C-alpha cells in the first residue's frame, strides 16, 4: 500500500492523543515497507496557525474530544481550514463516558465538506476532563485492544477493497443543541464563564501556561487569565502540585452528577 499515514488531534488531557496515535501506529505496523507517519498535534494555539492540506495519497486519522455532545466549537475555525483534496479520513471522537451525542457525525460531515472521503470512524472513552474518577484511567487495556482491532480492520479495508467505500456513523441531523448542565432547580446552567483558581501549592513552574490550549494563563501571574477558559482540564490534571481547581457551585454540581449518573462503563463504537 503506497499511502501515507497521518495522525492529527487536539488533546488537552492526552486521552484523544493516546487513541489516535495508536490507530496510526498500528496501521503503519501492518504495512510492509518502511513508512513515515506524519503527526500534527493542534492542541496548542501556535499549532493552529499552520495551514494543513492533504492529498489522495494520504490516510488521515483525526481526533477531537467531545465537548457538550459536539465537536469543541473553539476548534471549528481551525478544523474548517484543513483541506482534504480527496484524502481518506478516519474521524475519532473521545468522550468522558456520558455520551458522544452528535460529535462524530459533526466531525464526519465537516471532513466531507473539506474534501475528505470518510472510510471509517469511532467513538472511544477517555477519563472525563472534569473528574479523577469518571472513566478513570481510560482508555485502558480493554479499550486499547478495541483500538488495535479497529486499526487492523482499517488496514484490511485499505488493502482489500478495489473501490474503498464511505461509511455512515451514528448521530442526528440536524445536530442536537450543545448539552447543558443543570443547576439545583433543574434549569440549564451556563458554565462557560467559570475559571480555575490557584491555591498555595503553586510553585510558579509555569507548566500551566505551557499546556493551556487557549494560551490564556498569564505568564507573569499564573493565577490570572488573559483569555477564555474552556474547562479542558489541562492545567488542573497536569499541575505537579495540584494547585489549580474550580470552586464554582454549578460546575461542581455537574461534575458530581456526572460521576453518579454516568458511572456505568460504556463501550467504544466503531463504524467501518
Ligand X SMILES: Cc1cc2nc3c(=O)[nH]c(=O)nc-3n(C[C@H](O)[C@H](O)[C@H](O)COP(=O)(O)O)c2cc1C
Residues making contact with ligand X (CB under 6 A): 11-16, 65-69, 94-99, 126-129, 179, 230-233
Residue 132 CB, shortest distance to ligand X, in Å, is 11
Q: What does the alpha-carbon distance between residue 143 and residue 254 come to, in Å, rounded to a whole number?
A: 26
Residue 250 CB, shortest distance to ligand X, in Å, is 13
Nearer Cβ to ligand X (14/183): 14
Residue 185 CB, shortest distance to ligand X, in Å, is 21
Q: What does the alpha-carbon distance between residue 117 and residue 165 come to, in Å, rounded to a whole number?
A: 9
Inter-CA distances, 125 with 47, 65, 129, 151, Å: 25, 9, 11, 16
Nearer Cβ to ligand X (69/91): 69
Question: Any bridge partners for residue 171, and if so which?
Answer: none
Q: Which three-class secondary structure state does DSSP give residue 54?
A: coil
Nearer Cβ to ligand X (128/244): 128
Nearer Cβ to ligand X (81/137): 137
Nearer Cβ to ligand X (73/156): 73
Residue 226 CB, shortest distance to ligand X, in Å, is 19
With contact defined as beta carbons under 8 Å apart, do 243 and 198 qualify? yes
- Cβ neighbours for 70, distance < 8 A, ≥ 6 positions apart: 101, 102, 103, 106, 175, 178, 179
- Cβ neighbours for 212, distance < 8 A, ≥ 6 positions apart: 234, 235
Residue 260 CB, shortest distance to ligand X, in Å, is 14
Amino acid at each position: 500500500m503506497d499511502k501515507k499515514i497521518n495522525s492529527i488531534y487536539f488533546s488537552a488531557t492526552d486521552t484523544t492523543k493516546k487513541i489516535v496515535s495508536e490507530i496510526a501506529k498500528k496501521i503503519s505496523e501492518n504495512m510492509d515497507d518502511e513508512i513515515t507517519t506524519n503527526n500534527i498535534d493542534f492542541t496548542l494555539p501556535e499549532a493552529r496557525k499552520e495551514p494543513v492540506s492533504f492529498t489522495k495519497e494520504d490516510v488521515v486519522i483525526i481526533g477531537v474530544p467531545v465537548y457538550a455532545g459536539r465537536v469543541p466549537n473553539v476548534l471549528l475555525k481551525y478544523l474548517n481550514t484543513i483541506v482534504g483534496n480527496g484524502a481518506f479520513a478516519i474521524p475519532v471522537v473521545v468522550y468522558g463516558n456520558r455520551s458522544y451525542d452528535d460529535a462524530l457525525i459533526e466531525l464526519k460531515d465537516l471532513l466531507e465538506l473539506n474534501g475528505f472521503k470518510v472510510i471509517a470512524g469511532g467513538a472511544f472513552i477517555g477519563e472525563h476532563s472534569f473528574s479523577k474518577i469518571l472513566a478513570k484511567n481510560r482508555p485502558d487495556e480493554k479499550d486499547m485492544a478495541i483500538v488495535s482491532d479497529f486499526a487492523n480492520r482499517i488496514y484490511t479495508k485499505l488493502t482489500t477493497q478495489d473501490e474503498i467505500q464511505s461509511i455512515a456513523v451514528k448521530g442526528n441531523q440536524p445536530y442536537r443543541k450543545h448539552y447543558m448542565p443543570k443547576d439545583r432547580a433543574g434549569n440549564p446552567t451556563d458554565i462557560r464563564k467559570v475559571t480555575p483558581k490557584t491555591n498555595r501549592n503553586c510553585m510558579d513552574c509555569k507548566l500551566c501556561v505551557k499546556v493551556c490550549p487557549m494560551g490564556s494563563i498569564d505568564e507573569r501571574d499564573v493565577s490570572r487569565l488573559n483569555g477564555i477558559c474552556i474547562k479542558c482540564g489541562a492545567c488542573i490534571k497536569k499541575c505537579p502540585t495540584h494547585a489549580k481547581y474550580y470552586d464554582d457551585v454549578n460546575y461542581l454540581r455537574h461534575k458530581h452528577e456526572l460521576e453518579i449518573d454516568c458511572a456505568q462503563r460504556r463501550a467504544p463504537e466503531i463504524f467501518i
